[in-house]
Amino acid sequence: MRNQIVAGNWKMNNDTAETEILLDNLMQHQIREDVSVYIAPAFTQLTQSVVKLKNYPIAVAAQNMNAVASVAHTGEISSSMLKGVGVNTVILGHSERRSLYGETDDSLKVKVIKAIEDGMGIMFCFGEELSERKENKHFELVKMQLDSALFDLPNNAWKQIILAYEPVWAIGTGETASPGQVQEMHAFIREQIKLQYDSELANQVSILYGGSVKPNNAKEIFSMTDVDGGLIGGASLKSDDFMAIVNAF
């Protein structure tokens, strides 16, 4: 059985005081053992979150990392810095990094290789824009994103990878992909892994959906055969909503 995962991407939200409150509220909840739960706070809140969640079953992930180690890159963070504060998982390829900060499939490939080498877990995000879906190019585009950034990796690197399909048109818009659209794409992604590698690996990789997942739609989305959980933005900022999503399996 594949790992069931719910991760909260806090994006550029929650300063120290707000993080304290949200973590206190999250920690009021009992976490089910059959779901791996992550939060991804801003860099400045990573240590605070790791320390606070020390004896609590929520893992802390970063939202980005640089592809190189200690060099002159003002404003950047390396994998060893993340590991040094107890963070062993990183989100890479989020559409906001791609559209606002110029990350490309090629630059992401380099980050992925570095993260794998350094033993980091990766939540790799990808997904089409609305215009690409309207032109019926979404499968082609997703295949290209996976091909360029991930499909040269050796089979054993995939133990470190969680995929997150996030159609850009569904992020922060309140417009969720329908469960049918999500299942169709997730099945397509699994098929691509099977074609590139083998069916054993294809059946092991967890594929999350992200894009306006809320307590009222999570259950239906998570019930789809090829959906193994969610990467949650807005709803991860409210503890009750986030926990309702965790409990939607």
Catalytic residues: 94, 166
Rule CB under 6 A: choose which of 57, 159, 172, 223 binds ligand 13P.
Answer: 172
Q: What is the phi/psi pair of residue 232, to 5°? A: -110, 130
**Where in 77-96 is the site for ligand 13P (CB under 6 A)?**
94
Candidates 27-35, 46-54, 69-77, 225-233; binding stretch for ligand 13P (CB under 6 A): 225-233
CA distance to 81, 140, 141, 193, per residue, from 5 (Å): 25, 26, 25, 19
Residue 126 pairs with which residues in a beta bridge? Answer: 165
Min separation Cβ 46 and ligand 13P, Å: 17
Which residue, 221 or 235, is less far from ligand 13P as judged by CB? 235
239 belongs to the binding site for ligand 13P (CB under 6 A): no
Number of residues assigned to the chain: 249
Rule CB under 6 A: choose which of 116, 122, 205, 231 binds ligand 13P.
Answer: 231
229 belongs to the binding site for ligand 13P (CB under 6 A): no
| Type of residue found at 43 | F
Min separation Cβ 94 and ligand 13P, Å: 6
Candidates 30-38, 46-54, 74-82, 209-217; binding stretch for ligand 13P (CB under 6 A): 209-217
| Type of residue found at 210 | G
Distance CA 31, CA 92 (A): 25
Rule CB under 6 A: choose which of 9, 79, 183, 217 binds ligand 13P.
Answer: 9
Which residue, 202 or 217, is less far from ligand 13P as judged by CB? 217
Interacting residues of 26 by C-beta distance below 8 A, sequence separation 6+:
39, 58, 239, 242, 243
246 belongs to the binding site for ligand 13P (CB under 6 A): no
| Contact assessment for residue 27 and residue 78, using Cβ atoms and an 8 Å cutoff | no
Best CA proximity match to 88, nearest among 53, 42, 123: 123
166 belongs to the binding site for ligand 13P (CB under 6 A): yes
Distance CA 29, CA 6 (A): 15
Task: Provide the binding-site residues for ligand 13P, judged by CB under 6 A.
Answer: 9, 94, 166, 171-172, 210-213, 231-235
